[in-house]
Amino acid sequence: MNEGGGRPMACRLWQDTVVDLVVGAAPPARARAFRRHRARCSACRGEYASARSLATALHATPVGNGGGVAPNPEEGRSEGMPVKRQRGPLLTLLAVASLAIILLSINLAREPAPVAEPVAAPAAAVPAPTPAEVPPPTPEPAPDAAYAGRTAGNEATIAIAVKDGRAVAYLCDGKKVEAWLEGTVDGSVLSMRGPDGATVTGELQEGAVFGEAAAKGKKWPYSAALATPPAGTYRGSVSVDGVLKRIGWNVLPDGTVTGIISDANGVGPAPPLNPDARTATLDGVPVDVQLVTGRAG
Amino acid sequence: MTSSAPDPYTAAAPAPRPARHRGHRSGTAAVLVLVAIGALVAVALGVYGRLHEPGFFSVNVAGFSSPGAVKSWLATTAFLLALVQLGSALVMWGKVPRVVAPSWIGGLHRWSGRLAVLATVPVAVHCLYALGFDASSPRTLVHSLFGCFFYGVFVTKMLVLSRKDMPGWALPVIGGLTFSALTALWLTSAVWFFTTTGLTF
């Protein structure tokens, strides 16, 4: 940096020292000697001044602070650079915080609907598990009930749990598409929403629900019959090798089990569920399985 | 900026430069304040990670097979940049024999650091938002602890950099801790991911 055209040239002997001083690599003894020499030599004074101003221009932050090149202890403060408060690191902090907040708000904006709180064991709403796989058609549509069925083209299974005017549905194709939805029951009309625009609407008719389910940009009509355990929706969670995985299963009145397992890395087919015993294992690890009976409260 | 250890150039000097403006004592007190701020950040992150119900789903980055792959590659990028950080810091402080700090080394250090920490942010947001503070296995516990610690010590480092009255040992110690924390994070995440699922994109 001491070869710039038009700038004064330092004495050959001191050229390296000028550079060392500016980048902060000059030993104190040499710095002192240079200072004595500089007092007498205008060429070296000029070279030193222009080298420092070049360094200032090159560095976003002034020499003589913690952010950049280590300044020479002898030279840092008294001359050359204006000393001001370092803003670079604070701007870095600000940038990091802003990025984090932006990403977090994107996540929050896409927040999936709160998933039904599983109620441990057979709750009051659901009769004790009956091993029979016959759907007992109860004539009166009880306010608290579960329904399970399929979409019209058998693309996916759906199970809906109604409790205290709230409805929870799990839509699952057993391969890739799944959605937990939550909503309300108004008279005989069900309306539920899930993440990424998933919706399930339906109407209660004589112990069954008929309606439309939409997820991942597709829409299917479905029908779901009244279901008693073991039919219904089950949720499981298991931690394998330190990775938390969640599972959803739909058990249809005919005994069909469809499930999806998901972790932070994606989704896949769920391990088999034993609906009667409410047990499942993944890689030898027992899964914590719970029947979903609707959102409590 | 004078470290306590002797370096090739200033070893003969009578004493390291005394702390910048004020005495050593006030400088040390100021460091403690900044460390306390960093500790608060670390604790706040840990509390958030513990209390926030893991969303379990988070925005994915297009082009990668899974969030795990994205995170692993981002973390690896950050770690490589952190190696640049370590090297440039050593050169800047005259710890590499016979290497005189070139004028651009400060810029290299600043910008590699900025890119490194920015690369970690999407990873950390996903960790915190989708997974939370997880003590269910040693790996995740260590990773969770270091994750909180890293951002705490990073905040402290930025604050130390922005002040001029810091004692000479502050920056090397805090910078070293930042580097070590990032290395531990990388070992407990990306290395683990690549060794269990293979080098996937």
Question: What is the tens place of the pLDDT at every residue in B153-179?
Answer: 999 999 999 888 788 889 999 999 999
**B134 and A244 in contact by Cβ < 8 A?**
yes
Burial of B188 (0-12, 13-18, 19+ CB in 10 A): buried
Report the pLDDT averaged over residues A286-294: 78
- A:35-54 residues touching chain B, CB 8 A cutoff: none
Beta bridge partners of A221: A212
- Residue position matching structure tokens 């709750």: A123
> How many Å apart are CA A116 and CA A168, to the nearest integer?
6
Helix, strand, or coil (residue B9): coil
Chain A residues inside the 8 Å CB shell of B129: 104, 107
Interface test with B, best of A81, A102, A103, A262 (most B CBs within 10 A): A103
Residues of A in contact with B107 (CB under 8 A): 58-60, 68
Closest Cα in chain A, distance from residue B130 (Å): 7
What mean pLDDT comes out for the span A160-177?
Answer: 84
Query: Under 8 Å CB-to-CB from B168, ≥6 apart: which residues?
Result: B1, B2, B3, B4, B16, B17, B19
The reply to whether A25 touches chain B by the CB within 8 Å rule is yes
- Helix then strand then coil, % of chain B, to nearest 5: 65, 0, 35
Q: Which residues of B100-115 are buried (b: 16+ CB within 10 A; e: fewer)?
A: bbbbebbbbbbbbbbe
- CB neighbour class for A128 (10 Å; exposed up to 12, middle 13-18, buried from 19): exposed
Task: Quote the pLDDT of residue A295.
Answer: 52
- pLDDT band, residue B22 (cuts 50/70/90): very low
How does the average pLDDT of chain B come out, rounded?
A: 81
Confidence of residue B39 (pLDDT cuts 50, 70, 90): very high
Spatial separation of the C-alpha atoms in residues A176 and A166, rounded to whole Å: 26
Cβ of A265 within 8 Å of Cβ of B13? The answer is no
Can you give the pLDDT at residue A220?
A: 85
Residue in chain A closest to B57 (alpha carbons) equals: A264
CA neighbor of A165 nearest in space, from A188, A149, A148, A147: A188
Position B187 confidence tier, pLDDT thresholds 50, 70, 90 = very high
A71 band by pLDDT with thresholds 50, 70 and 90: very low
Sort out which chain B residues have CB atoms less than 8 A from A20's CB and list them: 100
In total, the C-beta contacts within 8 angstroms joining chain A to chain B are 157
Say whether pLDDT at A115 is over 70. no
More confident residue, B42 or A30: B42
Question: With bands split at pLDDT 50, 70 and 90, how would you rate the model's confidence at A231?
Answer: confident
Q: Residue A295 corresponds to which amino acid?
A: R
Identity at A53, one-letter amino acid code: S
The residue-averaged pLDDT of A22-43 equals 79
What contacts A108, CB < 8 A, 6 or more positions away? none
The residue among A3, A98, A99, A176 with the most chain B CBs within 10 A of its CB, best to mutate, is: A99
Distance between A178 CA and the closest CA of chain B, angstroms = 13
Tell me how far the alpha carbon of residue B114 is from its chain's centroid. Answer: 10
Burial class (CB in 10 A: 0-12, 13-18, 19+), B53: exposed
Mean confidence (pLDDT) of chain A: 73
**Amino acid, res. A170:** Y
Q: How sure is the predictor about B108, in pLDDT bands with cuts at 50, 70 and 90? A: very high
Q: Do A264 and B68 touch (CB under 8 A)?
A: yes
What's the gap in Å between the CA of A158 and the closest CA on chain B? 21
Subunit contact B101:A89, Cβ cutoff 8 A: no
**Cβ-defined contacts of B100-105 (< 8 Å, 24+):** B100/A20, B100/A23, B100/A25, B101/A23, B101/A24, B101/A25, B101/A69, B101/A70, B102/A23, B103/A1, B103/A22, B103/A23, B103/A55, B103/A58, B103/A59, B103/A69, B104/A58, B105/A69
A238-297 residues touching B, CB cutoff 8 A:
239, 241-242, 244, 246, 262-266
Q: Cβ of A60 under 8 Å from any chain B Cβ?
A: yes
Q: Which residue has the higher pLDDT, A92 or A31?
A: A92
Structure tokens at A256: 């069909």
Distances from the Cα of A185 to the Cα of A182, A196, B66, B130, B134, angstroms: 10, 21, 36, 30, 36
CA distance A117 to B28: 51
Q: How confident is the model at residue A85 (pLDDT cuts 50, 70, 90)?
A: low
Provide the 8-state DSSP code for A14: G
Question: Residues of chain B with pLDDT > 90: what percent?
Answer: 43
User: Helix (H, G, I), strand (E, B), or coil: what is residue B32?
Assistant: helix
B55 close to B129: Cβ distance less than 8 angstroms: yes
How far is Cα B118 from Cα B183, in angstroms, rounded to an integer? 16
Alpha-carbon gap, residue A161 to A296, rounded angstroms: 11
Residue B149 has a pLDDT of 95
Shortest distance, CA B161 to any CA of chain A (angstroms): 5
Nearest to A157 by CA among A138, A140, A177: A177
pTM of the model: 0.50
The segment with the largest mean pLDDT, out of A115-119, B15-19, B46-50, B150-154, is B150-154
Confidence of residue A283 (pLDDT cuts 50, 70, 90): confident
Nearest-CA distance B99 → chain A (Å): 10
Whether A86 and chain B come into contact, CB under 8 Å, resolves to yes
For the residues A76-98, what does the mean pLDDT come to? 69
Chain A interface mutation, best of B164, B174, B187, B196, highest count of A Cβ atoms under 10 Å: B164
Higher pLDDT: A228 or B175? It is B175
Residue A170: strand pairing partners: A159, A180
pLDDT single digits (tens) A100-110 = 999 888 877 76
Return d(Cα B69, Cα B66) in angstroms, integer.
Answer: 5
Which of B45, B50, B57 best tests the A interface by mutation, with the highest count of A CBs <10 A? B57
